[in-house]
Amino acid sequence: MYARRRRGYFLLMGACLVLFVGGCAVVRLWSVPVAVGMCVVAALIPPVAAMVANRKGPGDRWWDDTTGDADSDDLWDELDGRGKRDRP
């Protein structure tokens, strides 16, 4: 899962760089409005890339999931200000 998110992030950020550099260096010589449009689209891509990179997959652990190690879970619960969990 991590590799897929990372690949998606780098593809989106690569597209952002291509749009920005292409718009500012090449396209502006022929059409300034198109170059500005390309830069606006490039500015919208990084937040989307961050969401793609940080979303939780179905098999991923989340920060509040238990690890299975009772001592570790108790320590993290104490640090988070929660009481101990009821364990079977």
Tens-digit pLDDT profile for residues 49-67? 999 888 877 666 666 667 7
Report the run of H or E that residue 72 belongs to, with start and end. helix 70-79
Q: Please tell me what DSSP assigns to residue 60.
A: -
81: left (phi over 0), alpha (psi -120 to 50) or beta: left
Q: Which two tokens stand for residue 62?
A: 């989340």
How far apart, in whole angstroms, are the C-alpha atoms of residue 15 and residue 64? 34
Quick one: pLDDT at residue 11?
A: 94
pLDDT value at residue 71:
80
More confident residue, 27 or 77: 27
* Tokens 């929660």 found at: 82
The mean per-residue pLDDT over the stretch 27-42 comes to: 95
Query: 33 or 79: whose pLDDT is higher?
Result: 33
The three-class DSSP label of residue 56 is coil
- Tell me the average pLDDT across 6-26: 94
